[in-house]
Amino acid sequence: MKKALRFVVILLLLVIGLGLAFVAYLEISGIPIYAVEKVNFPQVQITPERIARGEKIASVQCIVCHRGSDGKLSGRLLHEMPPNFGEIHSANITQSKEHGIGNWTDEQIAYLLRTGCKPDGQFLPVYMPKFAHLSDEDLKSVIAFLHSDRPCVQPSEIAKVTSKPSLLVKFLCHVAFKKIPYPTAAIAEPDTTNMVDYGRYLVNGRYDCYACHSRDFTKLDFVNPEKSFGYMSGGNTLITLEGKIRYSANITMCPKTGIGTWTEEDMGRALRDHKNKEGKPIREPMLPYNGLTDLEVKAIWKYIQTVPVIENKVDRKWDED
Ligand code: HEC
Ligand code: HEC
């Protein structure tokens, strides 16, 4: 009996010891640094068309996280991040050479947006999204916007505050959220005459609807978005700017728990005017997509008709406000 007890105690100590060693390893090794490959990404030709397109994409994909106290993209504390992620600050991405990204080459910006790795190989965890599926033209447009004369990207001398990611984030960077491979071939513009293909691109590439609208951030498939767990069936936990929990909606065509009774017009109103079929406001963190063209709305709608229907009732917390 005594012998058995001693065995259990030794086993327990061993397990605790291994656990502590793992925690120490995570603390010391921190967030991984990857080798940076040389990629072929020539300097972007800046045209008014690209700036306008880039501004439209950035208005829903970058600005909300990067806009700081001076109204420029100077960075801020992201209180809408889950508290167990630590203290996360977005960066100054204005044209300031000292505090922003004024010294980065277009290749370095493209590499970061595609893979999540900075020029020194430092990986940015899940709180900075990766844009693996943006077409090359959309990516160039975002970069053209960052170099443009728009007021929000002019140099801001607000210094970047270093984030303090939690142990959980460090752990996730070792097991789940890793560097995304840089694409091996050019990513062509979607075929805008094929509504389903175009819609798939908008949902998984240009606007990343799937990331919020699938079931669980930790079970997203960044390489094959359609294989994400509970693809487009909602329930993902998001946090509003006031720190309240809000779950994303089921936007599969399920008549009971999704948008199966909606029409294309309802979708257009939801995206652009931020009202759902019943006239209720669609609340943050879903942003208004007021710049969407009719063709984009139609394509998103046509594509959603082809997405497998999943029954998943989401608690929308309508009584909260
Ligand atoms: C969900 C919030 C969020 C969104 C959306 C977002 N970012 Fe970020 N971004 C961050 C955070 C947080 C960091 C800083 C992470 C760190 O260093 O701790 C960051 C870092 C960066 C950096 C690195 C700057 C540096 O000096 O380290 C660049 C460049 C950048 N973002 C550009 C963009 C662009 C361009 C977009 C849109 C296409 C975008 N981000 C969208 C949160 C976001
Ligand atoms: C930042 C995360 C996020 C992104 C990105 C996002 N959504 Fe949403 N969406 C939400 C949340 C959260 C709700 C629920 C809002 C509420 O309950 O008021 C929602 C609600 C909706 C609704 C209303 C459904 C209903 O039954 O009321 C539709 C439709 C919708 N989103 C479509 C889209 C499409 C299409 C895209 C991409 C163009 C998109 N969303 C991008 C988070 C997001």
CB 195 within 8 A of CB 298: yes
> 77: helix, coil or strand?
strand
Query: Which ligand has the minimum distance to the alpha carbon of residue 59?
Result: 1
By most ligand atoms within 8 Å of CB, the mutation choice from 44, 90, 209 for ligand 1 is 90
For the CA of 267, the closest atom of ligand 2 is 29
CA 164 vs CA 31, 32, 170, 309: distances in Å: 11, 15, 10, 40
Q: Give 234 Cα–ligand 2 centroid separation in angstroms.
A: 9
Name residues contacting ligand 2 (CB within 6 A): 207-209, 212-213, 238, 246, 248-249, 251, 259, 267, 270-271, 276, 282-283, 285-286, 289, 300, 316
pLDDT digits (tens, 9 = 90+) for 114-130: 999 999 999 999 899 99
Kindly give the parts of the chain with pLDDT less than 70: 1, 29, 321
Q: How far apart are CA 36 and CA 116, in angstroms?
A: 11
In sequence order, the 6+-apart residues with CB closer than 8 A to the CB of 317 are 244, 245, 246, 247
Q: Tell me the pTM.
A: 0.93
Q: What are the strands, taking DSSP E only, across the chain?
A: 86-87, 164-165, 237-239, 245-247
pLDDT digits (tens, 9 = 90+) for 173-215: 988 888 999 999 999 999 999 999 999 999 999 999 999 999 9
| Number of helical H runs and strand E runs in the chain | 10, 4
By most ligand atoms within 8 Å of CB, the mutation choice from 57, 213, 231, 253 for ligand 2 is 213
Domains of the chain with bracketed CATH: 48-175 (1.10.760), 195-320 (1.10.760)
Residue nearest to atom 39 of ligand 1 (CA): 62
